[in-house]
């Protein structure tokens, strides 16, 4: 795995959601924030064997339990091993065409995941919509299909649906 420098904004310590985590969940959160496969968007696929063995020193079953424990600070799609850190862009601002372009490349590498709807919602929220036109076409199609398959839409679904319609 390629190494990278992870900078974690210290403001995360004052986040109410962070303060509400157990000690074990806080450790998991920082392991996700500094994961070698992480990226500029806080939306990436993890190697569960590596994470269990090297980072968490636990079994893959225990890692699965930790990742799927309900929290607002990360979401996990076990069918693709994709993790979304919804507030990542809140503390790690991105901007500029070069950053959006390189982020797009990283996002193109992800498998199709239902988490893309929430990611697009957060991307819009924390970039004031500036990054939406840079989304990979495959992610936009996956988000549209995910929304279309739902019987009831959440507020986030409705906002993302509108964003994708306006930007298509």
- What is the structure's pLDDT at 1? 46
- Among 72, 61, 63, 80, residue whose Cα is nearest residue 17: 72
The yes-or-no verdict on residue 24 having pLDDT over 80 is yes
Read off the pLDDT band of 52 (50, 70, 90): confident
The whole-number average pLDDT for the span 20-33 is 90
Task: Express each pLDDT in 119-145 by its tens digit.
Answer: 999 999 999 888 888 899 999 999 999
- What is the structure's pLDDT at 4? 59
Task: Express each pLDDT in 89-115 by its tens digit.
Answer: 988 888 778 888 888 999 999 999 999
Q: What is the pTM of this model?
A: 0.89
Identify whether the C-beta of residue 147 lies closer than 8 Å to the C-beta of residue 109.
no
């Amino acid at each position: 795995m390629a190494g990278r420098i992870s900078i974690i904004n210290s403001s995360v310590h004052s986040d109410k959601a962070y303060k509400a985590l157990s000690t074990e969940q806080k450790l998991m959160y920082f392991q996700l924030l500094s994961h070698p496969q992480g990226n500029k968007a806080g939306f990436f696929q993890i190697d569960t064997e590596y994470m269990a063995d090297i980072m968490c020193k636990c079994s893959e079953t225990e890692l699965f339990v930790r990742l799927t424990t309900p929290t607002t600070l990360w979401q996990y799609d076990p069918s693709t091993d994709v993790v979304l850190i919804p507030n990542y862009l809140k503390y790690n601002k991105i901007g500029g065409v070069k950053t959006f372009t390189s982020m797009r490349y990283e996002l193109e590498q992800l498998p199709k995941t239902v988490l893309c709807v929430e990611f697009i919602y957060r991307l819009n929220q924390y970039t004031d919509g500036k990054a939406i036109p840079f989304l990979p076409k495959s992610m936009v199609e996956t988000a549209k299909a995910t929304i279309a398959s739902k019987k009831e839409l959440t507020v986030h679904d409705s906002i993302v649906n509108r964003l994708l319609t306006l930007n298509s």
